[in-house]
Structure 1
Amino acid sequence: MGAAFFPEVTVNGEVVPQALIAAEAQNHPAPREKPGLAWRAAARALAVRALLLQEARRRGLVAEPEALGAGLHETEEEALIRALVEAEAAAPTEGEIHAAWARDPSRFRSAPLWEVSHILCACDPQDEAARAAAQARAQALAARLSAEPGAFAGLAAKESDCGSRSAGGALGQLGPGDTVPEFEAALRRLAEGELTAEPVLTRHGWHLIRLDAQAEGRELPFEVVRPRLAEALEKAAWARAARDLVARLVAAAEVRGVDGLSVSSGSDEAAPRPSASN
């Protein structure tokens, strides 16, 4: 559907070029049979962007584009919008940062560590016959271990398809993210010394997992948590300021050719958030 099928978009009398809307529409997924949805989303986003730029220029703001990393820099318009939202967003105070931590210090802990052993019956999970055969083998091993838990290391040495068989199935210390999600999810349900009741399927095959020992993460002091918490509060303040600013500008604006313009219509895209270094 060509641009001629859509109305001209104006923001306080300023025309948003249809070529610009067409280019922006590429960033708004929509069903192929409904290209108008992408066009309208792009028009709303660019209308909000125009409102923010108009306000930045009305205030006489000047901003130098900042580096975004990996050789990328803000455009001049992005820098102006950042400066506008920075003028609206109040940085969190030390008292607010400390209060956010003090509400529940137990939320801030170091990662747990697990000592883990396993027996792997390898297969390609996409191969139905191989998956079933490996599962049957793993279930037979689980039955043997149920009757003789002390045989784990010996069975791992003889039966496991993982290189850890040379260590009786021991994988050593693991932390969050060190294994595939299915393995970690099963591991988190185990008590110390417990073996999974049923084999666990991952992309590598079927596992019998034993949690040999665990060290719970320790509660972190405020001094360690503060930088991360301050950054989170700053980003939340930035998002609130952008939403509130857009709401005020939309309420006072004369926008034509755009339906459903609201606080959520592009404010996130139009107002870049602060980086960790801000």
Structure 2
Amino acid sequence: MTVPLFPDVVVNGEIIPSAAIAAEAQNHTAPKDKPGIAWRKAAQALAIRALLLQEARARGLVPDPQELAPGRWEIGEEALIRALLDTAIQPEPVTEEAIRAAWETDPGRYRSAPLWDVSHILCACDPGDAASSAAAEARARAILGRLDGGAESFARAARDSDCGSAAQGGHLGQIGPGDTVPEFEAALRGLPEGGMTAEPVLSRHGWHIIRLNAVAPGQVLPFETVHPRIARALEKAAWARASRDFVAGLGRRATITGASLAPI
């Protein structure tokens, strides 16, 4: 008899077919050469879901779907799981002492947003048009090859930029997190003060050469300012611990084949 490579999962006699696990596996990451990891993660997720639904029904809970966004509502099983977790999970309260201890561990973690003084040169293109993108990249690389890293040569080269900042030598002024597209900001965060990107950076607008002229680090925030943020983080962590313990308890009392609740 041939044993299936990925068997069905059975939770307290309830069968979760391999087709359902295969569909769920698309939502889980794994190395390209190890697809079995995504399968095991999916099997675990569906086994936990089955355990929660079984427990909710055993307690006689009734789903009360909530509106998640305008026109989008929870499905019945989602509402049932939420009702169970709201009922069963009672995380330990977060104390003022714990909040202050978390802050005192490293007050420097809690800063206001930095400000970056930035210049750039844009070679505009439609990234979805291969020919246009290749031509713009070649142009950006040619410009990059003429730069010596200094502010003056950058400003001169920026006169050929396709951005309105060309008239200011490519100077964008001071910007902060979220003021630019993600690709631009990611490259910016990797630059030292006075540094320039070694390669052109592609964004939805085209190819950029970026120079970080100066940076003003965020200031350390006082305890009173960050108190709500730390409290929310500790409450979230306490809820996560309590939910893991609850699921582990259900697992210890369950009969499960084809999946494991151990960390993957």
Give 1:248 deviation, angstroms. 1.9
In 2, distance between residues paired with 1:154 and 1:38? Answer: 51
Give 1:112 deviation, angstroms. 0.8
Range with greater deviation from structure 2 (81-90 or 239-248): 81-90
**Percent identical:** 52
In 1, distance between residues paired with 2:64 and 2:103? Answer: 34
| From 103, 106, 109, the counterpart of 1:104 | 106
1:202 and 2:202 aligned: yes
CA contact (8 A) 2:25 2:42 kept: yes
Distance change in 2, residues 1:231/1:68 (3 Å): farther
Unmatched segments (≥5 aa) in structure 2: none
Give 1:26 deviation, angstroms. 2.0
2:81 aligned partner, one-letter code: I
Q: Deviation digits for residues 107-165 of structure 1, max 9, x if unmatched?
A: 1112111222234455788665653454233322x14x75xx55654553x43332212
Distance change in 2, residues 1:57/1:164 (3 Å): same
Structure 1-normalised TM-score? 0.67
CA contact (8 A) 1:138 1:206 kept: no
Q: Deviation digits for residues 145-204 of structure 1, max 9, x if unmatched?
A: 75xx55654553x4333221222322122112333456445544232xx25385644343
Matched position secondary structure for 1:244: helix
Matched position secondary structure for 1:202: strand
Alignment match, 2:24: 27
In 2, distance between residues paired with 1:36 and 1:184? Answer: 35
Alignment match, 2:222: 221
CA contact (8 A) 2:110 2:221 kept: yes
Alignment match, 2:261: 262
In 2, distance between residues paired with 1:155 and 1:42? Answer: 52
In 1, distance between residues paired with 2:49 and 2:187? Answer: 46
Unmatched segments (≥5 aa) in structure 1: 266-278
Give 1:90 deviation, angstroms. 0.8
Alignment match, 2:249: 248
In 1, distance between residues paired with 2:80 and 2:95? Answer: 28
Structure 2-normalised TM-score? 0.70
Range with greater deviation from structure 2 (55-64 or 230-239): 55-64
1:166 and 2:155 aligned: no
CA contact (8 A) 1:118 1:208 kept: yes
Alignment match, 1:69: 69
Alignment match, 2:51: 51
Distance change in 2, residues 1:7/1:122 (3 Å): closer
1:243 aligned partner, one-letter code: R
Give 1:221 deviation, angstroms. 2.9
Give 1:262 deviation, angstroms. 1.6
CA contact (8 A) 1:123 1:206 kept: no
Superposed CA RMSD in Å reads 4.1
Distance change in 2, residues 1:116/1:59 (3 Å): same
Alignment match, 1:179: 180
